[in-house]
Structure 1
Amino acid sequence: MLKEIISNVSKNVIGNEFNIKISLATIISGGHILIEDLPGTGKTTFAKSITNSLNLDFKRIQFTSDLLPSDILGYTYIKNDNFEINKGPIFTNIVLADELNRASPKTQSAFLESMEEKTVTIDKETFKLPDPFCVIATQNPSDLSGTSLLPESQLDRFSISFSLDNLNKKERLKLLNNEDTTLNQNNSNFNFSKIKNIKEIHITQKVIEYLDNISEHIKTNFNEIHISPRSLKQTLKLAKSLSLINGKDYVTFQEIKEVLPYVLRHRINIVEKNEIFDFINNEILNKVSVPNEE
């Protein structure tokens, strides 16, 4: 079932198979996704294709410099001498925050409560968001005009981040020859609630110890990198979701190794973006032995 979802998304998104897989794992685990790339590279198409294949409710918010928090969350108004709530577009299963870093920091912060607590507060009244709820945010590189850096408090709420893969010549030709640019319709046969709960995926103490060893290695050798407890919990949930997609009911060291570069990517700013995955593999993963294999 989940492999069929990946195949369905791949019809619209050329290449990027593992990006599709780990994005699906993130949604299953209740996390959030940050896609950073240049304009016109297919970030929005990627987000819409995943949502359509999962048959979930979807809304898109185009971020601009004049967007207000109330445009996202909603607001109260008076109708027939009574206060009414007009809920904003954030009340959906998957919200695409398109070009998030074009908005002001005040507007960006409107997502903080929803991404952590899965709730929204409008004029002191708190509302629960739909389940599942996921933010898929896209952002342009920070050196482009009209952009601003996302604060660390918001970056840490994103479970993973990545850029879309560069296409080889065969994939580029396939993309250029694809005249049908419309996205596939929702998969009406798919029921998200029937996905196995990741709490049923077993994870041993040795795997948890391995992740903690990686965290200690980073703290000891790279003071500039902040690895929060939230990010470590996100890593475990992602590893469970990836195991589920791979058809297993347990987590191995390999799942930790596969998800960790995506978890750490937006938390590392001491190397260039295009060198981060190599840095994580060479300076972190290759230097931390798995338990019992020292």
Structure 2
Amino acid sequence: MPNPETSPDARPLRSLLYMPASNRRAIDKARGLDTDAVALDLEDAVAPEMKAEARAALLEELAAGGFGHRRLIARINALDTPWGHDDLAALAAAPVEAVLVPKVDDADDVIALSRAMDAAGYAPGVKLWVMIETPRAVLALERIAACAATTRLAAFVLGLNDLAKDSGMAQLPGRAVFLPVLTLAVLAARAHGLAILDGVCNAIDDSARLEAECVQARDGGFDGKTLIHPAQLATANRVFAPAEDAIAEAQAIVTAFADPANAGRGALRVNGKMAELLHRTQAERLLAKAAAIAAR
């Protein structure tokens, strides 16, 4: 099983912007946007009659490259749709970091998807990301996350729009009714070394609501947020980046433990606060993230 203390990827994943694979202009624009990852979408953003054309366009754009540091994620259609298996087969040799699959319900789905990727010839380093967006998936969070030990599973992505549709839970400002789902998803992800991204904010023009959701997700343990419009990028990138005072505090903790005078000590007083070895681990992780962002 992945060690949750060491497995998180230091590369920032503050923002993942969905882009419809059927829109070449949007994909081209993504090459210059300040997003940590791009989800090239064959599912919700593409009409049924455009699926095959979008798939062909996606493969051409991926082959063309030019996305720089941005992680490339391809969201396919669910395997129980007429397009899912063709999507999965077509992307086997594509230069993507992960395949994002919607409508996963349980661990058996993850195991089947990972085996299907193996059979299709995906390179070992290509990961499986899954949408957590059905009532059954929420009830199976720990079982799904535990698949990371034996499959390609590497990340959870929350899909609250579909969950709201299937459950009748209202997406109101503050997202109070979804807080148990958000918390349980984070705990399951962290227990098994998975990355986790918050769902989208539908209110494109409501900057205050987006900010509130980003802060809520950051404080709740999420790595970043999925986004539906480039105008949302700056807020997500800022909120999910380490703050200057947090960087300074982390550096002070690391420096204190590195002092030969403190060799062998498991707890120190740093700037008036107690710091233990676990705080040093957290500080090192935060500094690695800050350095990765600065390197951009």
- TM-score w.r.t. the length of structure 1 is 0.33
